[in-house]
Amino acid sequence: MKTTAPVSYILLLAAASIFTSSCERNKPVQKTDAPVANPISAKEYTVDAILYQQQSGEYRALAYQAFSLARLRTDEALKKKKPKEKLAIVTDLDETMLDNGRFGAHLINTSKYYTAALWSEWESLKKADSIPGSVSFLKYADSKHISIFYISNRSQKGLGSTMENMKQLGFPQVDSSNFLMRDKTSNKQERFDSIAKTYHIYMNLGDNLNDFAGVFYHQQASDRKRLTDSLSSNFGVSYIVLPNATYGDWEDAFYGYYKVDTTNDMKFSRRHSLLVDY
């Protein structure tokens, strides 16, 4: 049997519903100490630098320019080579031979800062690209029987993935004996010295001053500039520099190489305090 609710009962229910939803709207907002999600990525400030390296023709042009110069200096070194001398190139990997722009982009997109674990995950993917002009330059040096030493602050643990990635990209002399990864220190001077015992290193390639000489290692920003000026005649001759505005000791120097706890707010303030206005 079909039953119908009386009209007065339906009106009562509707009024109660309106009253309840009105109370919900007027309920005071409960205060909480829970952090508010920041819609701006922690690494937002690196967007332009990453885009410059991933998307600009100018970045590629600078890389080609560096490797053209490296080739010219190689030809000069070959002409000057003494009969029993063994020539060697020492090169950094990241942002010198290998392009990790996608890792930087991933940090922005996921609002994360660099951690060793994230980096190691990236390395294991073997997705780094080659810097424009890098493979053809090293192949040229290889064709001239020049030894190539890859001196990197990637960890020894990641050597297998790094070598596989580089083989896929076509780099020459990808043999574990040509790699000197980070051991007890990220200062590369000892590793340079160990090669210089047997070889004449006529050229270092890098994106970081630490790739050229230990004298730059963990210096403060003003000293890095002063030392660069004092060694200015080496740049473009025995030191070939690749551009990298996305990360490096140049930035870490601003934060004292993280020897003390550095919050994001402190880093933000530090960066802005260093801007040179007119």
Residues that bind Mg ion (CB under 5 A): 92, 94-95, 207
Closest CB to Mg ion among 41 and 187? 187
Closest CB to Mg ion among 94 and 99? 94
Which class for 189: exposed (0-12), middle (13-18), buried (19 or more C-beta within 10 A)?
Answer: middle
Closest CB 218 distance from Mg ion, rounded Å? 15
Specify which residues 240 forms β-bridges with: 205
Q: Could you give the maximum distance between any two Cα atoms of the chain, in Å?
A: 112
Closest CB to Mg ion among 26 and 221? 221
Closest CB 92 distance from Mg ion, rounded Å? 4
Closest CB to Mg ion among 235 and 268? 235
Q: How many other C-beta atoms can be found within 10 angstroms of the C-beta atom of residue 151?
A: 22
Nearest residue to Mg ion by CB is: 94
Question: How far apart, in whole angstroms, are the C-alpha atoms of residue 136 and residue 16?
Answer: 78
Closest CB 21 distance from Mg ion, rounded Å? 60
DSSP secondary structure letters along 62-116: HHHHHHHHHHHHHHHHHHH--TT--EEEEE--BTTTEE-HHHHHHHHHHT----H
For strands 87-91 and 129-130, give the pairing: unpaired
For residue 41, CA distances in Å to 35, 54, 245 come to 15, 19, 18
Closest CB 170 distance from Mg ion, rounded Å? 20
H-helix or E-strand spanning residue 53: helix 47-55
Residue 132, sorted as left (phi over 0), alpha (psi -120 to 50) or beta, turns out to be beta
Closest CB 156 distance from Mg ion, rounded Å? 17
Closest CB to Mg ion among 172 and 243? 243
Closest CB 110 distance from Mg ion, rounded Å? 22
Closest CB to Mg ion among 81 and 106? 106
